[in-house]
């Protein structure tokens, strides 16, 4: 893909309906009563795809997150809006967005180049090889374009998979998902090339929320997050998003869902976006959903600890970069027969942070809020503006 995500906010014909805290069942019933919108209560999101829903339902709702995704007409949305004004169990309604994989080619990179015989530069930048933590026992959910389940570098690993893309199984027809899973959870001693996985003994949960063409929807992401929460994943890694405009507020629905996930023990980490052209004086704001305060937004640096030209930044109070990770010329797994590939983007920085989070979760007991604090407090401070790098470069425990 090119450096940039699709420009502009593109929506679908569906809506996110957020329910008040602990009022999901009541809210779903109220939505049916006032707007005639019937939803499937979904306790097994793996069985529910974000496209066609069971039976004749208008949508599906996730009890753990307290949110629904529905197809609705204008008069039904008006009815829900009136219900919100009455301060009932329905908190808000938002238009669903289309989201995209965030990556960029690195045509001059040479996989396994000098200095990377043992470990990639990204692993070394995190001091991951020196850490005694391996991620063992920690569940990491990577929500992306799927995974090459037959990849030889993962032959000895148990991988739990689920697809939330209608008509597509979890197999990665794009490449992006396999690459980010490799960085977060891949091997330290592959048969070919340098070790590239941060949390190399973690338990992998591969959720396909982006199609083989690299696009998806908010509903698919929420389905994947709910699946991760239900499976008690400590970390959710999302190298995806949609661009935002300066001053554009974050999604309240996603922010509330992120808080509810955190309260249940799941930290969500997402790519800040690749919309900047810093060499041309353009710094783009953090994209959706990384711009939510309770989703850890990750920017990208290169091997010289310089901010990547494409890395989005903190340009207004509506979205901040929280930390950075290695995101330029990153070597990792790729669907066979290529086996490996080297690409760039905040997508590549995000799984470095997610892997470090898994190591920290293994090394230190604590809840998701404490895990966030630990990653921020132990990050390597960089001589760069906090608007570009947040608290700094994440470090392995």
pLDDT in tens, the chain (397 residues): 222 223 334 567 899 999 999 999 999 999 999 999 999 877 544 444 444 444 568 899 999 999 999 999 999 999 999 999 999 999 999 999 999 998 654 444 444 443 467 999 999 999 999 999 999 999 999 999 999 999 999 999 989 999 999 999 999 999 999 999 999 999 999 999 999 999 999 999 999 999 999 999 999 999 999 999 999 999 999 999 999 999 999 999 999 999 999 999 999 999 999 999 999 999 999 999 999 999 999 999 999 999 999 999 999 888 999 999 999 999 999 999 999 999 999 999 999 999 999 999 999 989 999 999 999 999 999 999 999 999 999 999 9
Residue of 42, 58, 64, 144 marked catalytic: 144
Instruction: Check if 347 is active-site.
Output: yes
**Residues in Cβ contact with 205 at an 8 Å cutoff, skipping those fewer than 6 apart:** 139, 140, 141, 142, 159, 160, 161, 162, 227, 228, 231, 233
What distance in Å separates the CA atoms of residue 125 and residue 130, rounded to the nearest whole number?
11
What distance in Å separates the CA atoms of residue 197 and residue 190, rounded to the nearest whole number?
10
What distance in Å separates the CA atoms of residue 299 and residue 90, rounded to the nearest whole number?
34
CATH of region 101-389: 3.40.50.200
Q: For the chain, which residues make up each domain, given as ranges?
A: 11-97, 101-389
Instruction: Check if 22 is active-site.
Output: no
The model's pTM: 0.93
Query: Residue 214 — left, alpha, or beta (φ > 0 → left; ψ -120 to 50 → alpha)?
Result: left
Residue of 151, 174, 176, 331 marked catalytic: 176
What distance in Å separates the CA atoms of residue 264 and residue 81, rounded to the nearest whole number?
29
Whether the Cβ atoms of residue 158 and residue 139 lie closer than 8 Å to each other? no
Topology of domain 11-97, per CATH? Alpha-Beta Plaits (3.30.70)
The backbone torsions φ and ψ at residue 127, rounded to the nearest 5 degrees and listed phi first, read: 60, 30
What distance in Å separates the CA atoms of residue 28 and residue 37, rounded to the nearest whole number?
8
Tokens of 346: 């905040």
What distance in Å separates the CA atoms of residue 2 and residue 211, rounded to the nearest whole number?
17
Q: Which has the closest alpha carbon to 234: 207, 194, 261?
A: 261
- Mapping DSSP to helix (H, G, I), strand (E, B) and coil, where does residue 227 land? helix
Instruction: Check if 364 is active-site.
Output: no
Whether the Cβ atoms of residue 185 and residue 355 lie closer than 8 Å to each other? yes
Residue of 50, 312, 347, 354 marked catalytic: 347
Which 8-state DSSP code applies to residue 157? -
Query: Residue 71 — left, alpha, or beta (φ > 0 → left; ψ -120 to 50 → alpha)?
Result: beta
């Amino acid at each position: 893909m090119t450096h940039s995500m699709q420009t502009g906010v593109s929506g679908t014909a569906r809506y996110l309906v957020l329910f008040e805290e602990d009022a999901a069942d009541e809210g779903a019933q109220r939505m049916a009563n006032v707007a005639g919108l019937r939803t499937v209560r979904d306790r097994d999101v793996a069985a529910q795809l974000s496209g066609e829903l069971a039976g004749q339902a208008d949508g599906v709702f996730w009890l753990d997150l307290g949110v629904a995704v529905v197809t609705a007409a204008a008069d039904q949305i008006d009815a829900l809006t009136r219900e919100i004004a009455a301060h009932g169990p329905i908190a808000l309604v938002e238009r669903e967005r289309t989201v995209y994989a965030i990556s960029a080619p690195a045509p001059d990179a040479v996989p396994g180049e000098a200095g990377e015989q043992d470990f990639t530069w990204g692993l070394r930048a995190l001091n991951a090889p020196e850490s005694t933590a391996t991620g063992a026992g920690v569940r990491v959910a990577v929500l992306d374009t799927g995974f090459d389940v037959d990849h030889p570098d993962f032959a000895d690993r148990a991988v739990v998979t689920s697809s939330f893309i209608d008509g597509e199984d979890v197999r990665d027809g794009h490449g992006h998902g396999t690459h980010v899973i490799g960085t977060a959870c891949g091997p330290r001693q592959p048969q070919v090339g340098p070790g590239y996985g941060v949390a190399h003994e973690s338990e992998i949960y591969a959720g396909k929320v982006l199609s083989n063409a690299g696009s998806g929807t908010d509903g698919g992401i929420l389905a994947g997050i709910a699946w991760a929460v239900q499976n008690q994943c400590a970390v959710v890694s999302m190298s995806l998003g949609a661009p935002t405009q300066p001053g554009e507020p974050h999604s309240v629905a996603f922010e509330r869902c992120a808080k509810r996930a955190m309260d249940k023990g799941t930290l969500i980490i997402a790519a800040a976006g690749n919309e900047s052209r810093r060499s041309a004086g353009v710094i783009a704001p953090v994209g959706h959903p990384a711009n939510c305060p309770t989703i850890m937004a990750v920017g990208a640096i290169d091997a010289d600890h310089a901010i990547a030209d494409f890395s989005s930044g903190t340009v207004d109070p509506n979205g901040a970069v929280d930390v950075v990770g290695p995101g330029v010329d990153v070597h990792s797994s790729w669907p066979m027969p290529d086996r490996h590939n080297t690409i760039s983007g905040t997508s590549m920085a995000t799984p470095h942070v997610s892997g470090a989070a898994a190591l920290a979760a293994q090394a230190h007991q604590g809840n998701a809020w404490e895990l966030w604090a630990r990653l921020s407090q132990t990050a390597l401070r960089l001589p760069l503006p906090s608007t570009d790098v947040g608290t700094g470069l994440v470090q392995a425990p």
